[in-house]
Amino acid sequence: MWNNFFKLNVIAALCFATLYDAQLFRNKNRMDNLEGFDNQKFSYGFFLAGNNFDYKLVLDGRAFAGDPSFGIERNKNLVQPKSTYSFGAGLIGKFRLSDNFDLRLEPGLQFVERELYFDTQSNNQYAAGTASNPPFDPKYILSEADKLRKIKSTYVDTPILLEVHGDRWYNSRPYAAAGINYMLNLQSNENSADDNQQGIFRSTSSNFAWSAELGIQFYFSRFKLTPGFRGTFMINNELVADNPTTPPYWTDAISSAKTRAFMFVLKFE
């Protein structure tokens, strides 16, 4: 479903560009649209986004001096992430700094579902305990329900972006932007008493990230359309460890998990 939504966003941008090609780029009888629009101190709008979210994992690999390696066995990664397509939407607030610089606040909601697959049955070898880890009761057969975690997240994403743009060329203008994000995960389960032993994957609620974006702004007679590509990368570790009594099949196999996302954004101002 989200894959189709992402494709529809791309097709919509291409249709807009094709439909108004003559108006945007022709030399004869050309009119400049929204000539004073960018001189406003404040302006606003909204955006739609097709997203691809996944986790960047660093797996536990402490296999030295008798310590176990819960996340890696003989160069095999025991935890595999799977990215999914999703969508988001939000609002735009722009503050004009100068002819070539704007400050943007673009709060939005990102609806995300990802998967982690834990092929960690081999951690039974540490059931008797080690010098740095207590013994545990092993699961002799990990079911598919034990191995697969479908992780739903709803991020309230609040980026503050510094945008730099070139001069207008007919009715278009290229731009680049970068900034920081505060991302509140409304489905983090951070305070849940249950953990992966009960099928609950927990992550942090409050997170920080950085973003970078490139795109082109198109000026029409009544609005400005901006298709752009954005990358967002989490700074902090989102992983919340399982309870001490939980066997090391899940979060003990992961040292850190950080969200990374690639977005196609359509902005309307």
- For residue 193, count CB atoms less than 10 angstroms from its CB and return exposed for 0-12, middle for 13-18, buried for 19 or more: exposed
Which tens digits make up the pLDDT trace of 46-73? Answer: 999 999 999 999 998 765 545 778 999 8
- Whether pTM > 0.85 for this model: the answer is no
In a 13 Å sphere around the CA of 154, the CA atoms on its Cβ side amount to: 5
* pLDDT of 33 higher than 80: no
Q: Work out the pLDDT band at 217, boundaries 50, 70, 90.
A: very high
- Would you give the end-to-end CA distance of the chain in angstroms? 27
Handedness of CA 252, 151, 188, 262 (dihedral sign): positive
Q: Which domain holds residue 205?
A: 2-268
* pLDDT of 232 higher than 50: yes
Residue 209, domain CATH? 2.40.160.20
**Tally of domains in the chain:** 1
Q: What are phi and psi of 30, to 5 degrees?
A: -80, 140
* pLDDT of 35 higher than 90: no
Percent of the chain scoring above 70 in pLDDT: 86
**Average pLDDT in the 143-166 region?**
95
- Written as six digits, the tokens of 237 are 């570790």
Average pLDDT, the chain: 87
